Amino acid sequence: MTRVARPGLLRRLDGWLIASVGLLLLIGFLALWSASAIRAGHPEFKRQWVALFASLPFFLVFLRTDPRVYAWYSRIVYLVALALLVLVLVAGKAEEGAVRRIDLGPFDLQAGDPALFLMVFTLGALIARLRDGFATPAGFTVSLLHVLPLAALVVLQPKLSGALTFFAVWAGMSVISGQRIRYIALFLALLIPLTIFAYRAGVIKPYQARRWVDYVSGNLSFHTQRAIISVGSGEVVGQGFGRGELKEARFVPVATTDFIFAVIAEEAGFIGSVLVVCAFGFFLYRVWLVVANASGAYQRNVAGGIFVIFSYHTLVNLLVVVGLFPVTGVPLPFVSYGGTAMVVNMMMVATLLNLRLRERGEMF
């Protein structure tokens, strides 16, 4: 019998998903080149390239490893996530009253990003094991208790927005996996008094609470005001690549990270901004296809968790820039400057490509 040779690995991967990621990376590097021009040598641009190349070994590992391995060893994976968050509290680098990074010499590790990614595997495995019991009060409670220790450690950094991201991913994965909406809504409602208690206990700092108070009262923060002015200055067609006057004047704070979309809007205008949003929309559509066609419950849960992470980060970042959400420090995937975020994003893409192959029955 003649054996039919399978096409090479690259030909079997989801080309449209890869293309959408490539487009977002291109947008990100162009935006970083422009945003970092106010400093000699474009330092953020260069370091972002280093991060992308550093992500390749991790990308290949997650592309070639059966995702079920992380379910089989979910307890160990969960302990690794906990250890990362404890380590940053014990030996992390203090910046502006917060401890969020671990100094590893040539680069810093922002522990919340890999911990969130690892939680997707462990929570996905837990939900899959619960099966029909997940959509019960007991199943709901067990899944919530799975997330609470991780979120609590992030609050202690303190990083309230990071803890909210953990809860958002838990809520999104729960909805995708068939949890009853009323249970999730009840918990989200309870977050308000819990947050007030945490503030009075001193866990949440005054400046963090002030962001939400200002947002509710309609008072835009200094950062957001400047970002909105920068977005509006781009008008319809923008000022041109690298020609943003407000960016050159250092008008927009943290232009390479939280508010990089303001730089894009100033230089590419309304039309360019819409095209960038469409690029993110197409990417998220390709990710959702992995969720919709997953080969099993665990695989669907993992893909769903990654979809929620990318969706949440994209939506919140864009809403912050236009003043519809308080400043949180949430990055724009593949675009905002950040080495740890770049590495973790590429690991998540590799996992999606892996799941897509297995959904098609094209194992390695």
Q: Would the pLDDT of 4 be above 70?
A: no
DSSP H stretches of helix in the chain: 9-12, 15-35, 43-64, 68-72, 74-91, 112-130, 137-155, 160-176, 181-200, 206-217, 222-233, 245-248, 260-292, 297-321, 339-359
CA 92, 340, 15 angle in degrees (round to 5)?
A: 165
pLDDT at residue 123 tops 70? yes
- Predicted confidence at residue 217, as pLDDT, reads 73
CA atoms of 298 and 363, how far apart (whole Å) = 17
Residue 173 has pLDDT above 90, yes or no: yes
Q: What angle do CA 169, 84, 68 make, to 5 degrees?
A: 60
- Greater pLDDT, 351 or 357: 351
Give the H or E element holding residue 325: none
d(CA 22, CA 194): 41
Domain ranges of the chain: 14-356
Backbone angles phi, psi at 145, to 5 degrees: -65, -25
pLDDT at 121 over 80: yes
For residue 294, which of 306, 286, 302, 284 has the smallest C-alpha distance? Answer: 302
Radius of gyration of the chain, Cα coordinates, nearest whole angstrom: 21
Query: Phi first, then psi: what are they for 342, rounded to 5°?
Result: -65, -45
**What pLDDT was estimated at residue 362?**
44
Q: Which residues make Cβ contacts (< 8 Å) with residue 179, sequence separation at least 6?
A: 134, 135, 139, 140, 143
pTM here is 0.91
Q: Among candidates 356, 344, 362, 293, which has minimal Cα distance to 61?
A: 344
Task: Evaluate if residue 229 carries a pLDDT over 80.
Answer: yes
Q: How far apart are CA 113 and CA 301, in angstroms?
A: 18
The stretch 184-210 carries a mean pLDDT of 77
